[in-house]
Amino acid sequence: MSYIRFLSLSLGLILFISCSAQKAVDKPVLPSQGAHLVSMNPDLLWQLKRVSATGISKDGRELVYKVSTPNIDSNTFSGQYFKVPVQGGTSVMLDKKDGLVRDKNISPDGKYLLFDKAVKIEKVNGNDFHPDMTNTTAQIYTALDYRHWDTWNDGSYNHVLYRNADAPETSFIDIMGQEAYNSPQKPFGGDEDYIWSPDSKYILYVSKKLTGTKAVVSTNTDIYQYELATGKTTNLTADNKGYDTNPQYSVNGDLAWLSMATDGNEADKNDIKVLSNGIVMNLTAHWDETVMSYKWSNDGRKLYFIAAVDGTLQLFSVIFPGKTKIMPLVQQLTKGDWDVNGIIGETGELVIVSRTTMNRATELFSFNLKTERWNQLTHVNDDLYKNIADCRTERRYITTTDGKQMLVWVIYPPGFDATKKYPTLLYCQGGPQSALTQFYSFRWNFQLMASNGYIVVAPNRRGMPGHGVEWNRQISKDYGGQNMRDYLSAIDAMAKEPYVDKDRLGAIGASYGGYSVFYLAGIHNKRFKSFIAHDGIFNWQSMYGTTEEMFFVNNDIGGPYWDDANRKGYTDFNPVNLVAKWDTPIYIIQGGKDYRVPIGQGLEAFNAAQLKGLKSKLLYFPDENHWVMKPQNSIVWHREFFKWLRETL
């Protein structure tokens, strides 16, 4: 599944007064801005440690988690495991985590171990065909799917395997045989793509059993059931033609999974389905949002899930009716200006989750289902944050050109003074159908931007989840339409504020946000003084000719450029056709290993800007993909980002 579309959700708490640019009644209060507090900067950001949960211990009393620490000198990360009581308390460093948390890959009867590895299936390399040419670097392809995300296809496929728990590692059974299909799915699938059945008789796995050109135009992954005794494989979701992913069994043996109905639409409504007693039920079919992730309750009577609602990610539950005729009931469990971005599990009255805000990186919390009280369990970065000034985040609702109310997050610099004027950045979210919530990014970090003296305006424009399915869907085949007007509505409303310097406005973004910057550069009518575009689509024709997941461009732009039915997407919504109107400094960032939005997009845009004589700069990362992953590259990214803004704003 594509990274570009993974969704998020949540419900707002603050009341607003209706007007063109509405101010929240309740404004979050900054902590005392004493002299000891410093503003966030790139070096401080990269001192933060990354927290991720491993799981709840078998006895339900402790939470096991990992802390990853960036090492700037070695350009790597190091990891250490810890445990902490689920009721709260002191964390203890672990020598090893083995045995504390149930290993899902050991069969319930303890006899077998499940795992995956890459298996060479097809001939691709030159010496596969010409063994005497041992030093050839040739690669030979006869169909699409020759590269994906940041890797060229070398003829190897991820396969699911199992062996006796006490057998040597070399003694295993490949349940996929010589199939040229992947499980886990590339590029982001992990061991969540395969599970044991409760009776240890079956292995379930997720795979898209299509190859070549057929594979890159389809999202039709299915859940397959492999029987150990017979070697027979059965497709459990053959009737559905979109994504079927993330299978999980309840304690009662009911099978749940996530399902999208439409083939080719990676951002379709994501529902929770359950197979029970031979009957499939869609538990969220009548709910007007989309599910991000889920987990069964310990008793198997309900499922917890995360979804976006009004600019945040929150925890929900849905009742599983079983054999009864009760309508599945969706209930929002948490509310607040934060993101619940991961469900670790349930123990007693507690649900253990991960949580972020725009001012805080991920930490782990418990939520008491009866008292609705939160308890922060990990405090990995507290010592660093206590010396860093927070940035006020504010909800606004802006009236769009078609009369809708659009949520806009506004982030203010520490010590904000409404009597002063501030340069202001319009942040354009990627996706295009990913949620803009209280996330904490180590690149597009709102706290860091605001701490450098900028007001950040972040609209929940058309295309984002959390505002109903129709709002989410609207952007497809309308890339340069209503959502661009939404952007301009947001920045125009904010520019009326006396503390916004309307002569110092910038627009920034990556992926679809980068496309947005390229497009706005041709239609902004001198609103903006500076642009920054990272891995953005610049030319739809060359994008269609070089990207790798064709279902993405087919769904979003309509299909190939040679089909006259798609003319509008390649003319009206194509940034390359607006270059004649470019008149503003632009900074272009591009990853060399980005095969989703390939290198030609950034180079074409930079060439155009240079040949037009515009102040422009290219930041190229030959070893990065659609993201910037290496610590030193990330720090360079931030330093260059703010250097450009200082020069142009």
Q: What residue has token string 């190939």?
A: 560
Among candidate residues 39, 159, 594, 616, the one labeled active-site is 594
C-alpha span between 334 and 318 (Å, rounded): 14
Q: CA-CA distance, 471 to 308, in Å (whole number)?
A: 13
Q: Helix 482-495 to helix 512-520 angle, to the nearest 10 degrees?
A: 70
Name the nearest CA neighbour of 433 among 471, 479, 406, 472: 472
Q: Which residue, among 308, 351, 630, 331, has the nearest Cα to 463 in the 3D structure?
A: 308
**Catalytic hit among 511, 516, 616, 634:** 511
Distance CA 475, CA 541 (A): 19
| Structural contact between residues 494 and 411, judged by C-beta atoms closer than 8 angstroms | no
Segment holding 516, helix H or strand E: helix 512-520
Instruction: State the Cα–Cα distance between residues 181 and 160, nearest whole angstrom.
Output: 11
CB 158 within 8 A of CB 189: yes
The answer to whether 594 is a known catalytic residue is yes
Instruction: Tell me which residue has tokens 């993201």.
Output: 627
With H, G, I as helix, E, B as strand and everything else as coil, classify residue 175.
coil
Angle CA 472–474–476, to nearest 5:
100
Cα separation, 60 vs 348, whole angstroms: 8
Q: For the sheet containing 92-93, what is the strand order? A: 50-56, 62-71, 76-85, 92-93
Query: How many other CB atoms sit within 10 Å of the CB of residue 59?
Result: 8
| Rounded CA separation 271/289 (Å) | 9
The phi and psi torsions of 14 (rounded to 5 degrees) equal -90, 140
511 part of the active site = yes
Q: What whole-number distance in Å separates Cα of residue 519 and Cα of residue 617?
A: 18
Q: Quote the radius of gyration of the chain (alpha carbons, Å).
A: 25
Catalytic residue IDs:
511, 594, 626
